[in-house]
């Protein structure tokens, strides 16, 4: 769009060989041939071959013909070429750039530049192509024929299709709570090794439930071409604490177990699962906005979503198109699509915010028109977060603070009338410091988690192979019904919790000895109605005259629960584990976590080695190893080598030791080096600080088997009287997923 429009038909042509469809994440070899047009390319002129920011195709290298991702470039007339690769050398979203400059000589019409991506002539396995699906993956070619560094896009661009691989991981999804006799769905899919729903399934699946379900067939069959199967109109006619559904193949091998489903006699509020933040190819993501909504509804099995494109890339035409799409896809009691956008202001002006409207036809107040050429509505811009809040006063919308490339600075700008939540997790990482910033300032906010997915997979946002080091999150909204109004009311009341992508059943409630005053909205904002109560749920704001109250936690995990942290604001009151010291066995856990700092370059590299002396590893399991092309290898019985990064979340491994208490564990990373006596590894975390923003390595011991999926806790919590008591919990599951409840806010 912002490139020169000067005579593109005279700038040449490009073609790719081979063309067609290729498996996501596979190694391939392509020859891109650029043929110069009428102008040729003058001395010091150049071409760019660019890919989207979201693409995680292997990074081209030019030095080792035998290694992966080797790229060679030649000119047919022997002109001397200078070649560089830069991750950000072109206008977004086409950031990733192979830059080819003619430094000696020139090209006439008909001369060619031949680029071999994944040149195999020297033994290279090829170039690893993008790990996620895209029906029109472009090798976009831009031409600076006249050596002005003003590029023209070719009118026809070479492209391939990237398609799913074979099924690798099966998934079964149900709601997490339904009432007795109320209908629900079971949704089934198989993903390839990179998280793409596979269309190559040819499988008869046996279904077995832990409780009687009316309408559940004994088997289903998935045929090639189908990416999911949904079984409708299932019911359970008696109350159950929870049930699960197992999938087996015809040899009785377990393929998957569904998330837990609770069947309740009475439940005023029901949980609805959403990913309220993602982008499509019209901004900086992949695949179309229509495909975005289709994936969320049909392949991620969400109840709600919101397309949140960067505002400075949303043209007026695209804004109208987005509103048409949300109106089309929004269906009460089936699937909710919110119209909205990501306000993408510079960090110094407040950082990213997400705006969700309840109706179509609302204005877009951009942070800038940086990539929107039509300046006719520039007066409607809101260049700072404070300007945005002022513009949106009186609008029927909700806002949450977000951290992506830019981070939201809630200490600089915040409006509690509009911005009722903060996003602590996305595919960019986990950012608990954002809620801590809010609590430090005394704000009363809820916690959400979403994906900010750029790879066209809202609600099932696998990070692929780039700096997105985390699986995208989900928000569970506890609402009266599945409508925009009910979900917005839930968000405004903070009746929700966030996860790093799992679907856990979670209730966090308070019980009081005497009447507490429950406010309909935040009393700090002015007069509001209230009522007396002896109980409260996550997100509630209350005045409590008691010195202490009972905190009740009821959690059912999608995997065994490793720990629960009970927090009051910035203080952790207790770390509870479902086992005691007498249960500890041969199994230890090593995790790394944290980030460099708050900005874009927050990635922390944890590449390292663990070596046992006088002991061996009998079993090793990675934690949160989503970048599966990174090494995780037991090279000797006593040695593990890995490559890993974190962007605020955590990774690591579980190790079962041959000898329970014998020997020394040596950990060697750039940031942490430690020698630890195995006999010293116990119930409590051993912590090795690494600076930065929460960077550390933890080492602790576990039981050999942890089967604690369900936890019910009742804790007596004393209140402090000089500030808000922001009571919330953080849960870690054994599979690496993390869950945060929104706080209950109590003051005296």
Q: Which residues contact 320 (CB under 8 A, 6 or more apart)?
A: none
Beta bridge partners of 190: 170
The three-class DSSP label of residue 464 is coil
Which pLDDT does position 102 carry in this prediction? 98
Q: How confident is the model at residue 465 (pLDDT cuts 50, 70, 90)?
A: confident
Which pLDDT does position 404 carry in this prediction? 87
Q: Could you tell me the pTM of the whole model?
A: 0.96
Which pLDDT does position 266 carry in this prediction? 83
pLDDT digits (tens, 9 = 90+) for 263-278: 998 889 999 999 999 9
- Please say if the pLDDT value at position 6 is more than 90: yes
pLDDT digits (tens, 9 = 90+) for 125-157: 999 999 999 999 999 999 999 999 999 999 999
Strands 304-307 and 336-338: parallel
Half-sphere exposure at residue 101, Cβ-oriented, CA atoms within 13 angstroms: 11
pLDDT digits (tens, 9 = 90+) for 382-435: 999 999 999 999 999 999 999 988 999 999 999 999 999 999 999 999 999 999
Q: Render the burial of 1-18: b for 16+ CB within 10 Å, e for the rest.
A: eebbeeebeebbbbebee
Phi, psi of 386 (to 5 degrees): -65, -40
Among 206, 213, 334, 332, residue whose Cα is nearest residue 263: 213
Calculate the average pLDDT of the chain: 97
Element (H, E) at 322: helix 316-329
Q: What percent of the chain has pLDDT over 70?
A: 100
Question: Quick count: other Cβ atoms within 10 Å of Cβ 543?
Answer: 15
Q: Looking at the chain, how many residues does it have?
A: 748
Which pLDDT does position 719 carry in this prediction? 97
Which pLDDT does position 467 carry in this prediction? 67
Token pair belonging to 448: 């959400």
pLDDT digits (tens, 9 = 90+) for 539-593: 999 999 999 999 999 999 999 999 999 999 999 999 999 999 999 999 999 999 9
Q: How confident is the model at residue 469 (pLDDT cuts 50, 70, 90)?
A: confident
Query: Which letter does DSSP use for residue 321 in this model?
Result: H
Q: What does the pLDDT average to over 184-188?
A: 98
Q: What does the pLDDT average to over 650-674?
A: 97
Q: At what angle do helices 316-329 and 289-298 cross, to 10 degrees?
A: 20
Which pLDDT does position 597 carry in this prediction? 86
- Please say if the pLDDT value at position 49 is more than 90: yes
Q: How confident is the model at residue 304 (pLDDT cuts 50, 70, 90)?
A: very high
pLDDT digits (tens, 9 = 90+) for 365-382: 999 999 999 999 999 999
E strands of 436-560, at which residues? Answer: 446-449, 474-479, 496-499, 505-519, 530-537, 541-543, 548-556
Domains of the chain, first to last: 8-163 (2.60.40), 169-264 (2.60.40.1930), 270-501 (3.20.20.140), 504-578+709-748 (2.60.40.10), 579-702 (2.60.40)
- Please say if the pLDDT value at position 1 is more than 80: no
Euclidean distance between CA atoms 382 and 141, whole angstroms: 35
Token pair belonging to 30: 């392509």
Q: How confident is the model at residue 478 (pLDDT cuts 50, 70, 90)?
A: very high
What do you get for the CA distance between the two ends of the chain, in Å?
57
The three-class DSSP label of residue 518 is strand
pLDDT digits (tens, 9 = 90+) for 488-522: 999 999 999 999 999 999 999 999 999 999 999 99
Euclidean distance between CA atoms 645 and 629, whole angstroms: 12
């Amino acid at each position: 769009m912002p490139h020169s429009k000067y005579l593109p038909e005279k700038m040449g042509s490009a073609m790719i060989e081979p063309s067609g469809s290729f498996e996501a994440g596979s190694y391939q070899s392509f020859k891109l041939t650029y043929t110069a047009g009428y102008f040729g390319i003058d001395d010091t002129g150049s071409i760019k071959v660019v890919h989207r920011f979201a693409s995680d195709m292997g990074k081209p290298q030019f030095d080792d013909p035998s290694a992966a991702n080797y790229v060679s470039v030649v000119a047919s007339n022997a002109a001397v070429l200078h070649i560089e690769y830069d991750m950000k050398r072109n206008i977004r979203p086409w950031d990733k750039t192979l830059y080819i400059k003619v430094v000696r000589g020139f090209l006439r019409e008909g001369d060619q530049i031949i680029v071999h991506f994944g040149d195999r002539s020297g033994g290279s396995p090829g170039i690893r192509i993008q790990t996620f699906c895209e029906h029109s993956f472009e090798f976009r070619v831009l031409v600076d024929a006249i050596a002005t560094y003003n590029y023209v896009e070719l009118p026809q661009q070479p492209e391939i299709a990237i398609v799913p691989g074979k099924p690798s991981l099966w998934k079964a999804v149900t709601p997490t709570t339904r009432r007795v006799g109320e209908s629900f769905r079971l949704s089934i899919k198989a993903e390839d090794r990179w998280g793409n729903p596979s269309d190559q399934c040819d499988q008869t699946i046996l279904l077995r439930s832990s409780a009687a379900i009316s309408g559940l067939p004994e088997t289903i069959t998935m045929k090639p071409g189908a990416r999911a199967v949904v079984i409708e109109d299932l019911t359970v006619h008696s109350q159950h604490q929870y049930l699960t559904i197992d999938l087996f193949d015809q040899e009785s091998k377990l393929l998957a177990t569904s998330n837990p489903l609770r069947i309740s006699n009475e439940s005023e509020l029901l949980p609805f699962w959403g990913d309220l933040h993602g982008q499509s190819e019209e901004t900086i993501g992949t695949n179309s906005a229509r495909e975005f909504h289709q994936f969320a509804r049909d392949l991620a099995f969400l109840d709600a979503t919101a397309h949140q494109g960067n505002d400075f890339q949303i043209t007026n035409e695209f804004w109208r198109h987005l509103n048409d799409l949300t109106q089309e896809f929004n269906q009460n009691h089936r699937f909710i699509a919110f119209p909205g956008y990501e306000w993408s202001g510079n960090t110094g002006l407040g950082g990213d915010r997400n705006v969700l409207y309840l109706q179509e036809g609302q204005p877009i107040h951009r942070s800038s028109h940086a990539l929107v050429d039509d300046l006719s509505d520039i007066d409607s811009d809101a260049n700072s977060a404070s300007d945005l809040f002022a513009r949106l006063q009186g609008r029927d919308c909700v806002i949450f603070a977000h951290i992506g490339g830019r981070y939201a600075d809630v200490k600089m700008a915040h409006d509690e009338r509009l911005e009722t939540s903060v996003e602590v997790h996305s595919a960019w990482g986990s950012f608990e410091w954002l809620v801590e910033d809010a609590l430090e300032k005394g704000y009363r906010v809820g916690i959400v988690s979403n994906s900010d997915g750029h790879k066209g997979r809202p609600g099932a946002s696998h990070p692929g192979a780039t700096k997105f080091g985390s699986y995208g999150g989900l928000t569970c909204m506890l609402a009266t019904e599945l409508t925009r109004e009910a979900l917005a009311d839930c968000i405004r009341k903070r009746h929700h919790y966030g996860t790093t992508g799992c679907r856990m059943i979670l209730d966090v409630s308070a019980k009081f000895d005497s009447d507490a005053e429950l406010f309909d909205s935040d009393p700090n904002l002015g007069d509001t109605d209230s009522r007396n109560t002896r109980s409260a749920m996550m997100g509630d704001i209350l005045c409590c005259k008691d010195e202490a109250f009972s905190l009740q936690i009821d959690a059912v995990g999608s995997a065994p629960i490793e720990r629960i942290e009970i927090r009051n604001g910035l203080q952790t009151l207790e770390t509870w584990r479902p086992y005691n010291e007498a249960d500890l066995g041969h199994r230890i856990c090593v995790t790394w976590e944290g980030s460099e700092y708050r900005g874009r370059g927050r990635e922390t590299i944890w590449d390292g080695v663990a070596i046992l002396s006088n002991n061996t590893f009998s079993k090793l399991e990675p934690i949160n190893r989503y970048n599966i092309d990174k090494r995780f290898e037991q090279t000797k019985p006593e040695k593990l080598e890995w490559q890993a990064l974190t962007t605020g979340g955590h990774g690591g491994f579980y190790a079962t030791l041959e000898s329970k208490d014998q020997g020394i564990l040596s950990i060697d990373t750039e940031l942490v080096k430690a020698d630890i006596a195995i006999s010293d590894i116990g119930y409590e975390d051993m912590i090795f600080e690494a600076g930065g923003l929460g960077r550390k390595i933890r080492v602790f011991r576990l039981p050999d088997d942890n089967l604690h999926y369900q936890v019910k806790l009742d804790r007596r919590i004393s209140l402090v009287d000089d500030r808000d008591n922001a009571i919330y919990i953080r849960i870690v599951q054994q599979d690496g997923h993390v869950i945060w409840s929104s706080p209950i806010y109590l003051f005296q």
